[in-house]
Amino acid sequence: MYMFRNLCTGVSRITVRFGTRSMSISSSRSVDQLLSGRNDDHGGVIVEMSTEPVDAVVFGSLLRASILHWRQEGKKGVWIKVPIELVNLVEPAVKVSVFALLQSSCFGMLFHASLQEGFYFHHAEPKYLMLVYWIPETPSTIPVNATHRVGIGGFVMNEKKEVLVVQEKSGILRGTGVWKFPTGVVEEGEDICDAAVREVKEETGIDTKFVEILAFRQSHKSFFEKSDLFFVCLLQPLSFNIQPQESEIEAAQWMPFEEYTAQQFVQKNEVLKYVSDVCLSKREGKYSGFSPVPTTGSFSTTESYLYLNRHCLNSP
Amino acid sequence: MYMFRNLCTGVSRITVRFGTRSMSISSSRSVDQLLSGRNDDHGGVIVEMSTEPVDAVVFGSLLRASILHWRQEGKKGVWIKVPIELVNLVEPAVKVSVFALLQSSCFGMLFHASLQEGFYFHHAEPKYLMLVYWIPETPSTIPVNATHRVGIGGFVMNEKKEVLVVQEKSGILRGTGVWKFPTGVVEEGEDICDAAVREVKEETGIDTKFVEILAFRQSHKSFFEKSDLFFVCLLQPLSFNIQPQESEIEAAQWMPFEEYTAQQFVQKNEVLKYVSDVCLSKREGKYSGFSPVPTTGSFSTTESYLYLNRHCLNSP
């Protein structure tokens, strides 16, 4: 079907059928009866539904007509962002099937194509669901969904070589007496270096300056099918009076590094043992991790951090 | 409501109402009229629906009864994994509202509670949608969705100090004549080091051995609201005859490193310029990145890679 568009420019009429009904839309008059979307940079269309109520049957009809229109335009991926208020539109989008009768004016022949599959889920956040549809008959190049959650741990050492540790009120270490580094999750759109400073401040009240990433771990199936990237960050303390976060932290303190490392919990955990070795090596000035360099211009004008071993670079 | 469960252990009868109908379920008899789920490690329940057709009204009724049951059990988060075949169940789950009349046998009093909100979207993959519901009146501790996509670039240099570069058939560099490193997306459940080897093999036919991560970049809003982590990987070639991937690669070659770096595209892009500097420094034996160390035992028995600067560690 996709090729006919290029062969026959005189397509004059599209018949849209849904259920037992059918309606005829002249392609020149149909524009105001279509869903409005904006183009993306990859030959696709993005439709963002407002939260105004829409009837599911009306929507299904609009969607069929719109797909035929976008097909004619040579569009590839179609994205529909459905707010949770319009959850009634999810089923008609997934079940949409477009039967198109295209009458070619160049040959006077009738071509018939049936598209069996409707929209797929692409990703979801609490208040919306993103649906996607691939128009061409060529393999889909729809990008994959986000696959990783990102966490940080903050290694903060003061001038007395004491490390900042906490005991948590919930989670698997609750009530175990284990002292651990402050840890947390990187929020949407947050830089790793900012997340580390924020989490340490939230959990302990200590202000810090980000220094570098000492190591990171990638693990799988940490949360349903999703993976996890956990960055161990070195931070320099800028304040020293601890104020534990009431909701999450049972206790917090500056603890001699050796005492932290000597905990059974650390000694028996291969990852934590490695991280301790790294911190020890760092304390002795022998280790260099990755530090953030602000950059612009990698396919966009927004600033992003490049993390690299700056100690080894000739020109920092 | 959550507190009443602890006060009154003798709750004998739950009335479940939906629409204008109501049905009465004895709590002792209701078990086989509930959705079956498995417990998670955080006091929650996970319901995985099979693809067997279920009527939306029946499902809504089961869901209300099940929520009341889980409430009584003190459950917190409720997860429902809805396969796309059962898209008809999404609307009833989002719109579910539970009006519970709990008759307490300890005081003989009637408590009434109305839960206004139904399920939220949590995450979605092409073939399923994960819905979530937080039962307690305390703030939700439902973990966030995955926030990052992960990509890799493969820097492969042969003994003649030539670097492996490609020209792509699609994307923003198509037709520009720019030579770039092979790049790709880390698949679900895939290790970064394996992804780099796989992508280089797919795009160029060259077998490689993973050496280390030279640098990485975190950027935001790369794809709707999602962020991106891109790891620049150093790989050692194990074969040398290039076979470009027909579907994606226009051309591939071994190119003198200086020629690669001299490209306007590289010189004018701050990130690529830094990466070139890193590669140059590496070529001269002055740079150390993060190499993968297989580990087990960080809160699970599965193996995961810890990436760190092994050159700096006393005991590798």
Q: Which residues of A touch B88 (CB under 8 A)?
A: 91
CA A92-A84-B33 angle, 5° bins:
80
Q: Which of B176, B227, B233 to mutate to test the interface with A (most CBs of A within 10 A)?
A: B227
For residue B285, what is the nearest residue in chain A, using CA coordinates?
A312
- Over residues A127-149, the pLDDT tens digits come to 999 999 999 988 888 888 899 99
Contact B66, B34 (CB under 8 A): yes
Contact yes or no for B84 and A272 at CB 8 A: no
Q: Which residues of A touch B271 (CB under 8 A)?
A: 295, 297-298, 304, 306
- CA dist A245 and A206 (Å) reads 11
Consecutive H or E run containing A66: helix A56-72
- Higher-confidence position of A112 and A241: A241
Our CA dihedral for B257, B261, B264, B267, rounded to 10 degrees, sits at: 180
Contact B146, A148 (CB under 8 A): yes
Contact yes or no for A304 and B217 at CB 8 A: yes
Would you give the end-to-end CA distance of chain A in angstroms? Answer: 55
Write out the DSSP string of A149-212: EEEEEEEEB-TTSEEEEEEESSSTTTTS---B--EEEPPTT--HHHHHHHHHHHHH---EEEEE
Query: Digits of tens for pLDDT over chain B (316 positions)?
Result: 222 222 222 223 333 333 333 333 334 434 458 999 999 888 899 999 999 999 999 999 999 999 999 999 999 999 999 999 999 999 999 998 765 434 333 444 444 444 447 999 999 999 999 999 999 888 888 888 899 999 999 999 999 999 999 999 887 888 899 999 999 999 989 999 999 999 999 999 999 999 999 999 999 988 788 899 999 999 999 999 999 998 889 999 999 999 999 999 999 989 899 999 999 999 888 999 999 999 986 555 678 999 999 988 754 4
- CA dist B27 and B8 (Å) reads 14
- CA dist B182 and B143 (Å) reads 34
- CA dist A237 and A223 (Å) reads 32
Residue type, B181: F
Contact yes or no for B188 and A300 at CB 8 A: no
- Give the residue from A58, A53, A63, A61 showing the smallest Cα distance to A85: A53
Contact yes or no for B219 and A271 at CB 8 A: no
User: Which among B141, B170, B220 is the nearest to A189, CB-wise?
Assistant: B220
Q: Which residues of B touch A272 (CB under 8 A)?
A: 298
Q: Which residue matches tokens 């009120």? A: A169
Interface confidence: ipTM more than 0.90: no
Catalytic positions of A are 202
Contact yes or no for B144 and A185 at CB 8 A: yes
For residue B228, what is the nearest residue in chain A, using CA coordinates?
A146
